[in-house]
Structures are given as C-alpha cells and as structure tokens.
Amino acid sequence: MPRPPTMEDVARTAGVSRSTVSRVFQNGGERVSPDAMIQVHEAARRLGYVHNLVASGLAMRHGRQLGLLIRDATNPAYGHLHAEMNRAVEAVGRTLISVTAFRHDYGTAEVEGLNRLIGQRVAGVFVGTGVTAAEDLVETVTATPMMILGRPNTHPQINSVSYDEEAHGRLMAEQIAAQGHRRIAVLTAPLLYSRVFDLRMRSLVQRCEELGIINVPVELLPVEQGVGRALDAAREEALSCIVCPVDYVALELLRAAAARGVRIPEEISTVGFDGLGDGLDLLGLATVRLPVEELARQAVALMEELLVRAQDDAEGPPPAPHGAGDRDAAGEGEGEQLLLTRHSPRHAVVAGSFVPGRTLSAAPGHLRG
C-alpha cells in the first residue's frame, strides 16, 4: 500500500522549500508570494495531499500567540525587553502574552508563571529570567517550543539568544584599567539571585586579574547594606572604584555616597551594567548597555524557525535518501547524526557597548599602582 504524500513531496513537486509549504498551510500563506502559493496548492491537489490539521494544531498550539515570562518588570532591563519583544512579535503578525515574576522570588513564581503561559495554549514561549535553572525549565515544557532570553545558556535541549555577559565583564574591566585603577571593590551576589550577575562579574574579575587589578569582593545583599559595606571597604582598604553588577545597584551606591558626603568620582569611581534606565545620561553613570532591540529581533526570528520545524516534524520526517534501506551500521549512525544536527539547539549571543560617564574617571594619584 503506497504511503500518503507528505509535505516534503509537495515541496519537491512545487519546486519550493519545505518551510514555504509549511507557511502556506499553517499561516495562510504569510510571507509567501502569490505564485508560490499557486504552485503549492496545485502540487497538493495533484498529489492528493491533505494537510494534517491535528498535527498542525499540536505544533502551533492553536493560535498566533507567543508567551513571555519575565522577571521584575520594574527593572529597566526587563521593561525594555518586554517592550522590544512586543514590537518584534507584532512585526511577524503574532501577539504576546506575558507573565511577570517578582525580583525576590527564587524560582517558584517563575515555574508557576511558565505553567500559566502554557495553559494559555501559546505557540511558543520565551523565558527572560535569570533564576530558574535550565534543567527545571526542561521538565516544565515538553511539547511547546521554548527559548531562553538574555541570560547565559548552554543547555543541549533549549534554544537561546543571550547577552554576551562574558564580553561585557571583560569590556568593563578594560575600561577600569584604562583609567589607572589597580584596587577595586566588586559587589557579588549568590548564583541563585541572578545567573546573569554571576557570569558578568566572574568575567570581570578574571579579566582584572589578567590586567593586574586587585579585586576585593563585597557581599551585595541586601542591597541597601551592600552598598554601605562597599563604601566602607573602599575607605578602609584604599580602593578607587566600586563595580556594581547592575545599574539600579549603582544608583543605590550614589545615594549612599551622597548621604555620607563621599564625592564621586573625585574620591571613588563606580560603574554599573544594563544602560537602559531613563536619566542615566543625566547622572553620567558609566555602564554597559544591553543590546535589547537586537536580542528581541533575533529571538523572534529564531522562534519562527522553531515553529516551522515543529510543523515539519508533525508532518513526519523527510523521506530517506535512495538506498537508505540497505545501509550498514555505519550508514545508520550517519543518519542519526544528521537528525541530531538538524535538531540541535542554537545558542546565539549578542554583545552590547560601553557607555562612558562621569562616574568612572582616573584613579586618584595616591591610589594608583
């Protein structure tokens, strides 16, 4: 009994790509030329191809909606991410549903929020948080395409588009070194608080050590006390710069310094990361700006690819090449490797840029090495 025609057969007969056929049947022909649509429908008619609506529903989750889980929308980095993701998703004709966790919840609210999004039958979900481990995310989502945003990720089952925090840490270390700083305070937080903070600060410390800069770690949490401890350490240990893992901590440091009468940058410099808060240019905070717009653009483009691939997989694997039935053991292993390569997740990283500001200036002469 002959097998029923597949999407691959339609693509071959129509002379178009498999993804084009997928867009014709699952998205009403969005971004497909009229000529290509005619070719696809004519090829389907000749072959007797009937689109699998059940499989399509499973792959596309019954709609045009995508989900976004973010953390602490009061943080400018997440607020900007939310806005740019909305813009990028609308540009491809979809809508975005979002759930926000709280800054000081260590994972529970994130998992619950992710489950709520999946319950909305979204086509795919973006996870833009810095706390829940990738291993826990994999257990939460099985059939829905998922992607990590912003934070570092190398999990072999989850796609991601992340900020290049290793590059950001190195970049800031080099800017600090260029101003002659040789002894600095580094505010640190537990990995559970933020994987992003952990990676950027570890990268900064490593690069500082390579440049001959002495790093004095100072516990960040709670923030109001952490900035006070950093100012105390700077005075007691002759440090010339305080590195904050994020801009809102740097702002707390500026407030604490003003309350103590400590002049910045005359007595001590300070820097932050993110570069997205309104008015940072007026304050003159030296920081690294995250490339939020580019990250959102790449993430949505990759999600579209994942959804097309999910649709293709629902239609069944492409036919085996001629003679595949006679493969020996070596040939079979090669086929498995091709399948693995096709489905291997992508881990893209996007680097930001240094934003100079008055809070980072030359180290005072008596504190230079």
- Over the stretch 223-264, which tens digit does the pLDDT of each residue have? 999 999 999 999 999 999 999 999 999 999 999 999 999 999
Equal CATH topology for 60-163+292-320+331-350 and 165-290+352-367 = yes
| Homologous superfamily, domain 165-290+352-367 | Response regulator (3.40.50.2300)
Q: Which pLDDT score, from 0 to 100, does residue 51 have? A: 61
118 Cβ partners below 8 Å, 6+ apart?
67, 125, 140, 141, 144
This prediction's pTM: 0.74
CATH of segment(s) 60-163+292-320+331-350: 3.40.50.2300
Domain ranges of the chain: 7-51, 60-163+292-320+331-350, 165-290+352-367
Say whether pLDDT at 58 is over 90.
Answer: no
Per residue in 78-124, pLDDT tens?
A: 899 999 999 999 999 899 999 887 655 555 667 777 777 877 778 88
For the domain spanning 7-51, the CATH number is 1.10.260.40
117: Cβ contacts below 8 Å, ≥ 6 apart? 67, 68, 69, 97, 99, 125
Rounded Cα distance between 31 and 40, Å, is 14
